[in-house]
Amino acid sequence: MESSIERAAEHYRAGRLAEAVAECRAYLRTAPRTPDALNLLGAALFTAGEDGAAVEPLREAIRLQPGHAAALTNLAVVLQHREDWAAAERALRHLLALSPELGFAHSRLGSILKEKGDLDRAARHLRRTIRLAPPSAQDWLNLGLVTLLNGEFAEAEDAFRRTIAHTPDGAYAHAQLGEIRLRLGRLEAAAAAFARALRLDPTARGAGDGLARCRRYAAAMARAEPAETASAGRGGLVMRGAFNRHTGYGHFCRRLIQRLRRDGVPLQAIGIVGPESWAEENLDPPVPARAVVNCLIPLATERVPGLATVTFSMFEGTRIPPAWRRQSALSDLILVPTESSRLAWEAQGFPAERLRICPLGVDPEDAAQGGSVAAPTLVDPNGRLVSSYRHRFLNISDFIPRKNILGLLRVWLRSTAPSDDAVLILKLGKGGGDAAMRAELGALLRLAEDGAGRRLAEAAPVNLIDRAMSDAEMTGLYRAATHYWSMSHGEGWDLPMSKAGAMGLTLVAPRHSAYVDYLDDTTAHMIPATVGPALLPGGGGYYPPFHGLDWWIPDEDVASGILTSIIRGDGAPKSARARLLERFTWERSAARLLAILDEAGLRG
């Protein structure tokens, strides 16, 4: 029998994987409780690309011999490859309990904890890797990437410098070093790192964009307006953001730029990556300015020497992550759109005197278009026109756990029946829903059915839209609905909700986060919510961007009662339109932004 295992090992080492698998299985038919054979079978299956089949023999080897280091190692590798982070972490912790000084196990555990969003512990394990053995370039690079994400910029810079010392020709490490230096406002050193990366590899990821930002920042510095020569209240602005992208941050940055330009404010816009420009008008030339307003999360904020750094951001939980707190420290001011975001920064210890609230606007120009943007012709899964339903509930969400699509579907299944004159229009993602997304949605729907104790066929229809839509088509989608409904766990603003309200839809919203800044019981159907841990649906641990944090959990019983009342005809229509159009315009938002900067002496 030993010779059979030896032959399997020889096949494996020679890359004859099918023969190795066959030899292991033949051996296990006569000796099924042999951990070494099970481990070799799992390794061969994984190497052959059958990672799903590799898991069980490796687990069986560990059940038979809990201290089997090779099987624990191989199982961790397989589970990490399958992105089963929790199970991979358990396997590595088991291995480290047996051998605490295994540097590669600390390295892998650090990488897994990074994926889970546990950045503090990830950094600790990666530091342990470096202390245990002479570190490789990859070890230093991994530490640099994690400490960058964690806002530990000085340590990240040191790690990238050490990566380069090991591999001077590594273009990626040079580019990352440039990124860190831009965060710290060291423009010349950043430009040198990006230029070096491009000399090593003209296609180096991020290096060309980084160098373009360096050039634009240098041009802005050259026009920076000294305090002694500034004209009060008449200075310009540099604004940086993702204005060319279909994101919430891109939308509000674009709207503010449009309003400020309309009001005659001198403005230079710099895109998030640097070289991009805005096709609508020329926003590239530098202007006299004293501040850069970054409409971005704190990690993406970069400092420009000679100009104040302002970050306009938001958060959707009860307190920001520790990494955001460290990253925010590089900003002279943090602007947020709502009181809940202000409290989230304060709860993590950020100084209250460096926080300001600047509400966003809604889009009344869309509401004023009348019937110029027609509702699309939608057909439900049963072939009935969506427009023929009396109650048409709309939800527009990125397909992420924070949007709580599981809770939305669970309430819909509990509250409706096929005979109801109601339909749910669910627009998920930014378009191009692929097979993986549909599979994930299918799994989520099964969880919802199990939680509600009812199948989809026993509820009113759900009309799923996952294709890309233009701005005009999106406006038409709002016109197709009578109600807009959210079960979100937290919002920094919720542009779709505010837009729906501005267009006259009846709103159903949780009573938490941004919603309470512009909605109340007189303007919307409000769902009570409690605070709880930000966990993934189905028991998968923390949602990585919110690791260790709390968000809000809407009351599904009350939400079900609200929906039932509306559908049965007892829920009177409510409108937030007048309030939103009066109090939350982009004109007001831009004026508030300028007032904050004037008060801080950052606009001349």
Nearest to 151 by CA among 194, 176, 188, 183: 183
Query: Looking at residue 1, what is its pLDDT?
Result: 47
58 within some domain? no
The radius of gyration of the chain's CA atoms, rounded to the nearest angstrom, is 28
DSSP per-residue codes, 313-343: ---SSSS--HHHHHHHTT-SEEEESSHHHHH
Q: List Cβ neighbours of 314 (8 Å cut-off, separation of 6 or more).
A: 336, 337, 338, 341, 492, 493, 514
> From the CB of residue 200, how many other CB atoms can be counted at a distance below 10 Å?
17
- For residue 2, is pLDDT > 60? no
| 564 shares a domain with 509 | yes
Name the residue among 63, 79, 138, 67 with its Cα closest to residue 103: 138
Question: Residue 569 domain-assigned?
Answer: yes
Are 247 and 284 within one domain? yes
Q: How many Å apart are CA 184 and CA 169, to the nearest integer?
A: 24
Kindly state whether residues 441 and 563 are assigned to the same domain. Answer: yes
Tell whether 43 is covered by a domain. no
Same structural domain for residues 403 and 488?
A: yes
The pLDDT of residue 39: 97
Q: Locate tokens 């309430």: which residue?
A: 411
- pLDDT score of 235: 79
Q: Are residues 442 and 404 in the same domain?
A: yes
Residue percentage of the chain with pLDDT more than 90: 85
Same domain, 383 and 260: no
Query: Is the pLDDT confidence value at 385 over 70?
Result: yes
Cβ neighbour number for residue 19 with a 10 Å cutoff: 16
Q: Is residue 33 part of a domain?
A: no
Question: Among all chains, which residue has been given the structure tokens 């600047």?
Answer: 358
Output the furthest CA–CA distance in the chain (Å, rounded): 90
Give me the pLDDT at residue 367, please.
45
- 3-state secondary structure (DSSP) of residue 389: coil
For 474-523, how does the pLDDT look when each residue is reduced to its tens digit (9 = 90+)? 899 999 999 999 999 999 999 999 999 999 999 999 999 999 999 999 99
Identify whether residues 413 and 546 lie together within a single domain: yes
Q: Is residue 54 a part of any domain in this protein? A: no
pLDDT-based confidence at 373, cuts 50/70/90?
confident
Residues 349 and 277 occupy one common structural domain = yes
Domain of residue 490 covers: 372-582
Q: Does residue 241 sit within a domain? A: yes
Average pLDDT, the chain: 93
Report residue 239's pLDDT band, with 50, 70 and 90 as the boundaries. very high
Q: Which pLDDT tens digit goes with each residue over 83-118?
A: 999 999 999 999 999 999 999 999 999 999 999 999
Q: What is the pLDDT of residue 368?
A: 45
Q: Does any domain span residue 481?
A: yes
434 and 351 in one domain?
no
Residue 333: give its domain's CATH number. 3.40.50.2000
- pLDDT, residue 572, reads 77
Tell me the pLDDT tens digit for each residue of 142-201.
999 999 999 999 999 999 999 999 999 999 999 999 999 999 999 999 999 999 999 999
Residues 321 and 382 in one domain: no
Domain presence at residue 169: no
pLDDT of 275: 80
303 and 387 share a domain? Answer: no
- Whose tokens are 């000796």? That residue is 31
Q: What is the pLDDT of residue 573?
A: 81
Residue 430 has pLDDT above 90, yes or no: no
Residues 6+ apart with CB under 8 A from 473: 376
Query: Are 251 and 289 contained in the same domain?
Result: yes
Single pTM value for the model: 0.92
Q: In Å, what is the CA distance from 217 to each residue of 98, 275, 307?
A: 52, 11, 10
Cβ neighbours of 89 (radius 10 Å): 22
The tally of domains found in the chain comes to: 2
